Structure 1
């Protein structure tokens, strides 16, 4: 049976389903109601069939609450009373000394007691699928984060003190900021971008765009030394954000640092996709991205191998390209560096909460409507993973304390989000996150599977200790997949700040170790214990490693290659990085 404009009835029904899911997704922030319901039903059903666990939970509640009531009865009369519950090492919510005074110490300790009980109630239920348990635990934590006493003026001593000292002006200023933010949200106006501008304050390392296609601009940076290493460096950033995380301000630009150390540096700048790019695939990102960039570099710096470095998703793509090149006897890579890049997704952290068949089907329907994954949907997922840092603490500081938000270079970059094409993002989530095809040797490039074991170029892999996006133990799995020399670095900081770790920055440290192809496997926890901590920036040993893998010094190459038809098109940072 044929419907409107030649569409068949099944196609019309499928389109209707997708439209409904897309509209729902605007209210659920991309979370599949079916997936959440399945998780809660799994938990409830198994909880109902575990009377022993229920009895244990009730006994735990009565015992802990009885002890807490005794502690709380002493708290008003003992200003030096020790906490009933010590917060976790990374819990900064109650660090202010005001929280140790009555009655706020009782309020905060009571909240932490309930947090502790809910964690106990949502974990280790016999029979509950691990994925469902993680979703229920995560959801419970989100609700508790929202109800934290830090988020309310009457129960937050820091807000109470500020209100008294300012005569309530903090609340007036906070209300003005709230009204402004609501106006931007309701009218879909872009928020104030701050004083830092790309090309003026950020991404200012001198260079030229020497190649452009539908997907990338390739930037070649101007040399600052009389001679350079013969092997150039190609950096492949993630396209989930703009490339200039690696070229922020002059003092913390990785690009500038490498150029000043005598390297010829090339950077891929990705096009920000629109609805016209909905059918761009992972294959396009490999061929029109990395391979096109390598072909261009080979014309500018002929007869030289290339040091390739990939960041996050760009590192995963680089590992795919490197494996395909090794399979096809393409030996143009001198080395491979991976910054917080996952190649095995079995332990990909809390992002896996958003990855199952129901979630992906739902997300695909949302992307189908627009042709891309919206920046708001991506930022919403990351905000949930770090709700205290990215949501609640910001609301307290701006709406209750009345503090004016300050913007540094990293914050300005973080606000400059990009979109993800429908087809590519669907393939990325299904093939890598859901099916783990790359680690399993099932990932197809040019109609044939690839294996990371084929890579023979030495690998330098960097992970960050507090990474919520690519947990370091997940990044460490590169040791299980590659049959080559691997130098592994675990550095302090998170997914972004741990990578932007220029020399001279205080409170930075790292651990480093090397595994040869013939060495036996070392488990991640054992590696952590065996390797000593070094103070300072990991950039310095990385540059030393690159130099050890390089050959002689030569004169810097031309900007572009006129004889090959590669003329400088415009100054860095180019046009694609400015696309909104």
Structure 2
């Protein structure tokens, strides 16, 4: 790659200016964000300071030197010889894996220049003199969104894979990409999987069972036994209301529901209704009362067991724990044991979702849907996708539109795209009292269903599962539940993230998990003494659950009872309703 000194100087200057223009554009973007927050909540909207001049000057100097090294390496390279990269993508970044990026000096230069500028912006955001941890995390999150959106892989003119695919297909990939874009625009979302490959009740949520109760907010499913004898004490599962329940019952090989039933348990599960205008006025208390509290009473009536085992997943665990605290405050002894999967009760570090929740955003929700209204599931799905934009947004922009490919069939991504609406008052109360003010951990701070709740009064045995790479519920925050609940706790840390760490089927027995007897108050101290075990945590948990399952009895062959008759087969109507 032979160039003149004048060309070298011009290239260096242009790339350095481009890096600075990225920063200027980013600060303009932050300024607009700040102005919007000022309009909604001027008293609480934070100002966005720039890094100290000395620090910014050092970062700019480092950027210029890095570009100089890159240009020197590229200009000295001989035609056809690979160039040792000056900068490499972060581990797990697959955007530039294709050989097209390294085989061409032009595209190799483009990608490395982008990575240098991206690193510069990241360091600028890290250097912002923001004392408040949540505000700092928010700035870093917005920086990442900005950087990810500007990747050269996202644009036809700077993506060599687009060009190669178009040539190989004689332009057909461009035609198909346009068709994919039009189709997704009609759907109102980016396709992540082949939607035609799945149907709820046909090849998803297929565990046999019956809906034996329903109200305005839930259906309650009782699953059919798969063993002749079962543990007398049943299990009630409360999944998150922000997603469809079938994450717990995808397909037979990766169904937690089926696994538990096969272990000899009678399983009941709450299926939340996709909120519509009729539910627009429901608040937090309605979700507690019409959800787990009612479901617990129905399970008791059917099984004649006063204290069922209960399990909550994610926000379903927060709702379930709150319901148990309400029942405790009313003098009841509601359950035999509690299992919480990736659940927050202390929101002091609420992960990347927490950095998006501030006074301005919560005030805006309260003003628009706080008394009545619907929070669209599609909007919530977009928020969750933005947390992993390269994996859940830009990967499909490139694949679907630039390369004209059809996404492969993947049950988990089908579920991920099947969004659920929420009642506005419920969401607004949840955001303020949990994410913003972190009130649940304070005994007597919150009143629910007419009583002051104290999570310390929930003193039943608890199994707590967190995921080590969870970006929604940081495992160190899930660990703090041990200091809030009043009973004996068993903490287990699974490998992988929020979903893959939780839904780790025993049939495949992959990944690993950590267990330990330490009662350390600091999560990192617990991990130091914990032991890593190969395989699925499901096998460890079900042995714990069996000790609380009671004696073995003949399986209940008929669902429901005289009072609670079968309404329809599982998975029921509610889970099939679209947002």
Q: Tell me the TM-score range normalised by the shorter chain.
A: 0.7 to 0.9
TM-fit CA distance, 1:507: 4.5
For residues 379 and 32 of structure 1, what CA distance do their matches in structure 2 show? 24
Instruction: Give the 3 Å change call, closer, same or farther, for CA 514–550 of structure 1 in structure 2.
Output: farther
Q: Does the Cα contact within 8 Å between 1:225 and 1:260 map onto a contact in 2?
A: yes
- Larger mean Cα displacement after TM superposition, 445-454 or 473-482: 445-454
Q: Which residue of 1 aligns with 2:297?
A: 295
Matched, 1:499 2:499: no
How far has the Cα of 1:527 moved from its partner?
A: 2.8
Please give the residue correspondences for 1:43-442 in structure 2 after superposition, counting only pairs within 5 Å: 43-44=48-49, 46-47=50-51, 50-76=52-78, 79-103=81-105, 104-127=107-130, 129-185=132-188, 193-367=195-369, 371-441=373-443, 442=445
The question of 1:474 aligning with 2:477 is answered yes
Question: In the alignment, which residue of structure 2 is the partner of 1:566?
Answer: 564
- Per-residue CA deviations over 1:429-477 (Å, capped at 9, x if unaligned) read 1111111111122222343332222222111111123222212222121
Residues 40 and 136, structure 1, Cα contact 8 Å, conserved in 2: no
Q: Note closer, same or farther for the CA distance 1:197–1:346 as it changes in structure 2 (3 Å cut).
A: same
In structure 2, C-alpha distance between the alignment counterparts of 1:235 and 1:194, rounded to whole Å: 29
The residue that corresponds to 2:455 in the other structure is 452
2:485 pairs with 1:487: no
Equivalent in the alignment of 1:9: none
Query: Which shows bigger deviation, 279-288 or 63-72?
Result: 63-72
| TM-score normalized by the length of structure 2 | 0.87
- Please give the alpha-carbon distance, in whole angstroms, between the structure 2 residues aligned to 1:489 and 1:148: 38
Shifted more, 97-106 versus 307-316: the winner is 97-106
For residues 520 and 142 of structure 1, the distance between their equivalents in structure 2, rounded to whole angstroms, comes to 36
Is 1:42 aligned to 2:47, yes or no?
yes
Question: What SS does the aligned partner of 1:510 have?
Answer: strand
- Paired with 1:86 and 1:336, the residues of 2 have a C-alpha distance of 45
Number of matched pairs: 541
- Quick check: 1:211–1:217 contact (8 Å CA) kept in 2? yes
1:40 CA drift (Å): 9.9
Does the CA-based 8 Å contact 2:195-2:409 persist in structure 1? Answer: no
1:490-536 deviations in Å (ceiling 9; x for gaps):
22232222222112437422222345xxx442x22233333232221
Match of 1:17 in 2: none
TM-aligned CA distance change 1:321 to 1:369, over 3 Å:
closer
Distance (Å, rounded) in 2 between the aligned partners of 1:370 and 1:389? 34
Tell me how far apart the structure 2 counterparts of residues 506 and 264 of structure 1 sit (CA, whole Å).
23
Please say if residues 59 and 124 of structure 2, whose CA atoms lie closer than 8 Å, have aligned partners that are also in contact. yes
Helix, strand or coil: the match of 1:574? coil
Whether contact under 8 Å (1:34, 1:358) holds in the other structure is: no
Give how far 1:328 is off: 3.8
* 1:163–1:557 Cα change, 3 Å: same
Unaligned residue ranges in structure 1 (runs of 5+): 1-27
Q: Go from structure 1 to structure 2 and tell me whether the alpha carbon gap of 1:40 and 1:170 turns closer, same or farther (over 3 Å shift).
A: farther
> Separation in 1 of the partners of 2:484 and 2:270?
26
Instruction: Let me know the Cα RMSD of the aligned residues.
Output: 2.7
Equivalent in the alignment of 1:13 = none
SS of aligned partner of 1:562: coil
CA distance in 2, matches of 1:376, 1:181: 13
Cα distance in 2 for residues equivalent to 1:373 and 1:224: 39
Report the CA distance shift for 1:520/1:195 in structure 2 as closer, same or farther (over 3 A): closer
Cα contact 2:343–2:473 (8 A) shared by 1: yes
Distance 1:446 1:471 in 2: 29
Aligned counterpart, 1:443? 446
Deviations, residues 315-334 of structure 1 (Å, cap 9, x unaligned): 11111122333344422311
Following superposition, the deviation at residue 575 of structure 1 comes to: 1.8
